[in-house]
């Protein structure tokens, strides 16, 4: 009887699988590198390029974009390691880039003398691999050795190789981690933490490493000692050092979901689990204070610490099981935390106040006190680099019309000085910026920024591009883009950036209002902004286009399937679209904390918006432009491929372009970036301006 039951269950499963296969006749496009898939991609790429490259603005946008990307006037972004400032640089001569360094003193001079440490173009030729530099982890305190992360084609999976920064060569018989979605970090000169693919059962269902091992120099990777392990259903596991001055603390963490984790500290060989909320983020460790940002209210010793607050806990006491908490920053209705970093003695905290940045220096002497940095107003501030050996730090400021500037500052004296500003790539004096709010379906006011020519006539004929993201706590802040200015604004376009729910512009509550079964709030917000632009006669449905990537690509898919009447152009970049299978493709399972699990009753609310499942014949959909990358190992290119193929099969005209490399970023070189920009703006002008 038992065997019959099992046989029946197997038969049902087989039938269900067969039905699923019949329902999704384009699933073969998920086979990334199959001959059939790549032939389909090549045909679509050619058809799209043949049309869009012939548009009047294509060549000028390509040339101007490449000029911006290759400009030698760009700011060399600093990373401070000991006595050097390192920078990764790409230009016309170095399309794959060079990793270089200069002294701190020389960096601050007018013309720093850069010393090339590693040439990625030369390495790619030598190895016959299209390497993409993904950063490096240095050995404290001298930083004479680094663990260099290299990606084949730009994907998230990396090969890690140990590099001698004195001899400027990879170390023979040094630490090497084969390609995996894992990590390698120094514990000391002869020991590393390694999280990688150790074979069957050692990776999570999300495709990341779930074991942390200690690996001794000179021993095989397979002999590394297991010290910590997460569950297969977790998102990831990792081990890393956190330093408080010269004190080193060994942290071990397992990501339970995308937004929750369990953190432990190894003390004298013993693993101590920290009694902190699973949804809190560890931001820093300074002056024996463990700094946390709270995603929900937390009651500590009868005191309620407010959601969205930045707090600190006495670290020594915490390891003893006691909690002594202090509030560093608490938000109000319109403010939120946007960044935290530390110098040798100070804590730097960046705040958003109604989607505009403010920067503060916090000092600790039994209690926290703060001083505001006299940074520019009405724009976005981001922390660039801090120095663990001094209170010097760097930060950026930019907005839509002000080129990005890098400031050098001293947290001890609260002084700042402009280090370098980007040149003006377009004439900003012709444009104006406004912040407006639109009312969403439930009455929530949704802010958005609009950039337009001062002499614009609001007569509904302006080609208008609306951009948003709406997820994963990612805030959309004002930014300067020479490519957008030259390629879109100077060609008569209006640009709109919407701060819809799902981001963290107003703290954790703004993000949580769009999670799982509440996700339609995000899409209603976006539709509301679009409708507001039409109501204000900025644009009409014929002159309104939209753009978004990744989770924003999902937003694009939902937007045109739910409200095709609102949009005449859609640029859908590296998107999620098949929300029934997203958790089975690449890193998809790690995002179930955001979207829900489609293999459970969650499918009841997911299926209501899943773009792939809500396509219908006979609708007046816009002619969508899908873009993706063959080497995207985060969001599977199958999403874009299958959606495009299904629409073609239904008789809809679409555009499709898949770059052969670039990973989730879509491009690896400046030429590829310029080509993508030219294709996208040519498409938008063709559809919205004619």
Q: Give the pLDDT of residue 3.
A: 39
Is there a catalytic annotation at residue 550? Answer: yes
Residues with Cβ within 8 Å of residue 220, at least 6 apart in sequence: none
Residue 126 lies in a domain: no
Instruction: Let me know if residue 178 belongs to a domain.
Output: no
* Boundary-marking domain end, from 311, 329, 347: 329
State whether 540 and 393 are in the same domain: no
Residue 533 lies in a domain: yes
pLDDT, tens only, 379-398: 999 999 999 999 999 999 99
Q: Which among 484, 483, 485, 482 has a CA at the least distance from the CA of 422?
A: 482
**pLDDT (mean) for 485-510:** 97
For residue 81, count CB atoms less than 10 angstroms from its CB and return exposed for 0-12, middle for 13-18, buried for 19 or more: buried
The model's confidence at residue 663, banded by pLDDT at 50, 70 and 90, is confident
pLDDT over threshold 80, residue 7: no
What pLDDT digit, counting tens, does each position of 561-598 carry? 999 999 999 999 999 999 999 999 999 999 999 999 99
Last residue of a domain, one of 380, 397, 423: 423
Q: Is residue 5 part of a domain?
A: no
Residue 459, in any domain of the structure: yes
Marked catalytic residue, from 550, 559, 667, 668 = 550
* Whether residue 336 is found in the same domain as residue 325: no
Residue 608 has pLDDT above 60, yes or no: yes
| Helix pair 520-535, 551-562: axis angle to 10 deg | 60
Mean pLDDT, rounded, for 421-448: 97
Q: Are residues 477 and 569 in the same domain?
A: yes
Regarding whether 433 and 396 lie in a shared domain, the answer is no
Same domain? 347 vs 488: no
Tens digits of residue pLDDT in 611-649: 999 999 999 999 999 999 999 999 999 999 999 999 999
Q: Are residue 437 and residue 470 in the same domain, yes or no?
A: yes
Is residue 296 located within the same domain as residue 382? Answer: no
Q: How confident is the model at residue 16 (pLDDT cuts 50, 70, 90)?
A: very low
| Residue 274 scores a pLDDT above 50 | yes
Q: Are residues 416 and 481 in the same domain?
A: no
Exposure of 518 in the CB half-sphere (CA atoms within 13 A): 14
pLDDT computed for residue 660 by the predictor: 87
155 domain-assigned: no
Tell me: pLDDT of 12 over 70: no
Q: What is the DSSP letter of 149?
A: E
For 142, the token pair is 């001298």
Domain extent at residue 293 = 275-329
Does pLDDT of 4 surpass 80? no
pLDDT single digits (tens) 279-335: 999 999 999 999 999 999 999 999 999 999 999 999 999 999 999 999 999 999 999
459 and 417 belong to one structural domain: no
Q: Return the number of other C-beta atoms located less than 10 Å from residue 645's C-beta.
A: 19
Do residues 526 and 468 touch, judged by C-beta distance below 8 A? yes
pTM exceeds 0.85, yes or no: yes
Question: Where a domain ends, among 391, 423, 455?
Answer: 423
Average pLDDT of every residue of the chain: 95
Q: Cβ contacts of residue 166 below 8 Å, gap of 6+?
A: 144
The first and second tokens of residue 62, run together, are: 């390509």
Write the CATH number for 662: 3.40.50.1820
Tally of domains in the chain: 3
- Does some domain include residue 372? yes
Q: At what angle do helices 670-688 and 58-70 cross, to 10 degrees?
A: 140
Residue 149 forms part of a structural domain = no
pLDDT of residue 8: 40
> Which residue out of 183, 195, 664, 668 is catalytically annotated?
664
Same domain membership, residue 447 and residue 410? no
**DSSP string for residues in 66-77:** HHHHH-TTS---
Higher pLDDT, residue 461 or 661: 461
Residues 317 and 442 both lie in one domain: no
- Residue 430 and residue 357 in one domain: no
């Amino acid at each position: 009887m038992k065997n019959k039951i099992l046989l029946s269950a197997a038969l049902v499963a087989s039938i269900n699988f067969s039905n699923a296969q019949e329902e999704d006749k384009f699933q073969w496009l998920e086979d990334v590198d199959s001959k059939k898939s790549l032939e389909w991609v090549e045909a679509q790429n050619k058809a799209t390029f043949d049309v869009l490259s012939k548009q009047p603005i294509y060549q000028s946008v390509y040339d101007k974009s490449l000029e911006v990307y290759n400009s030698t006037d760009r700011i060399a972004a600093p990373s401070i390691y000991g006595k050097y400032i390192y920078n990764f640089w790409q230009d016309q001569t170095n399309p794959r880039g060079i990793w270089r360094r200069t002294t701190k003193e020389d960096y601050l001079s007018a013309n720093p003398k850069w010393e090339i440490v590693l040439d990625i173009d030369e390495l790619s030729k030598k190895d016959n691999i299209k390497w993409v530099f993904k950063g490096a982890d240095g050995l404290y305190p001298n930083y004479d050795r680094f663990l260099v992360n290299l990606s084949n084609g730009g994907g998230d999976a990396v090969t890690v190789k140990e590099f001698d920064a004195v001899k400027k060569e990879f170390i023979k018989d040094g630490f090497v981690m084969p390609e995996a979605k894992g990590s390698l970090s120094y514990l000391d000169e002869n020991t590393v933490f390694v999280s990688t693919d150790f074979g069957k059962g050692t990776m999570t269902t999300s495709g990341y490493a779930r074991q942390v091992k200690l690996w001794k120099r000179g021993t095989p990777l397979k002999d590394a000692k297991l010290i910590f392990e997460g569950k297969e259903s977790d998102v990831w596991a990792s081990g890393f050092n956190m330093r408080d001055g010269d004190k080193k603390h060994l942290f071990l963490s397992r990501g339970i979901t995308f937004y929750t984790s369990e953190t432990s500290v190894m003390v004298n060989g013993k693993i101590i689990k920290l009694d902190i909320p699973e949804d809190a983020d560890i931001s820093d460790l300074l002056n024996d204070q463990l700094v946390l940002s709270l995603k929900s209210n937390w009651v500590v010793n009868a005191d309620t610490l407010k959601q969205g607050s930045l707090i600190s806990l006495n670290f020594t006491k915490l390891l003893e099981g006691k909690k002594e908490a202090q509030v560093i920053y608490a938000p109000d209705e319109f403010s939120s935390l946007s960044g935290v970093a530390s110098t040798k003695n100070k804590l730097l905290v960046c705040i958003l106040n109604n989607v505009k940045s403010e920067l503060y220096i916090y000092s600790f002497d039994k209690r926290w006190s703060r001083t505001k940095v006299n940074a520019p107003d009405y724009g976005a501030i981001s922390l660039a680099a801090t120095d663990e050996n001094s209170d010097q730090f760097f930060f950026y400021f930019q907005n839509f019309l002000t080129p990005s500037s890098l400031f050098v500052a001293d947290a001890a004296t609260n002084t700042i000085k402009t280090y370098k500003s980007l040149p003006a790539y377009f004439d900003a004096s012709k444009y104006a910026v406004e912040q407006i709010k639109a009312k969403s379906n439930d009455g929530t006011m949704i802010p958005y920024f609009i950039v337009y020519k001062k002499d614009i006539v609001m007569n509904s004929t302006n080609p208008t591009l609306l951009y948003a993201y709406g997820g994963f706590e990612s805030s959309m802040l004002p930014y300067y883009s020479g490519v957008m200015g030259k390629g879109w604004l100077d060609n008569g376009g209006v640009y709109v950036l919407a701060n819809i729910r799902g981001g963290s512009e107003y703290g954790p509550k703004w993000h949580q209002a769009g999670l799982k079964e509440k996700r339609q709030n995000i899409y209603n917000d976006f539709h509301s902004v679009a409708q507001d632009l039409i109501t204000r006669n900025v644009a009409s449905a014929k002159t309104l286009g939209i753009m978004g990537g990744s989770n924003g690509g999902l937003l694009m898919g939902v937007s045109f399937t739910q409200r095709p009447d609102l949009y005449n152009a859609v640029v859908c970049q590296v998107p999620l679209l098949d929300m029934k299978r997203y958790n089975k493709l690449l890193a998809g399972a790690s995002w179930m904390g955001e979207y829900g699990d489609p293999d459970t009753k969650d499918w009841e609310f997911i299926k209501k918006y899943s773009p792939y499942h809500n396509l219908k014949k006979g609708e007046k959909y816009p002619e969508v432009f899908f873009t993706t990358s063959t080497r995207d190992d985060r969001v599977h290119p199958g999403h874009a491929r299958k959606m495009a193929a299904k629409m073609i099969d239904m008789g809809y005209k679409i555009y499709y372009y898949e770059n052969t490399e670039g990973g989730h970023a879509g491009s690896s070189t400046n030429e590829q970036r310029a080509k993508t920009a030219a294709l996208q703006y040519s498409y938008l002008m063709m559809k919205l301006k004619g």
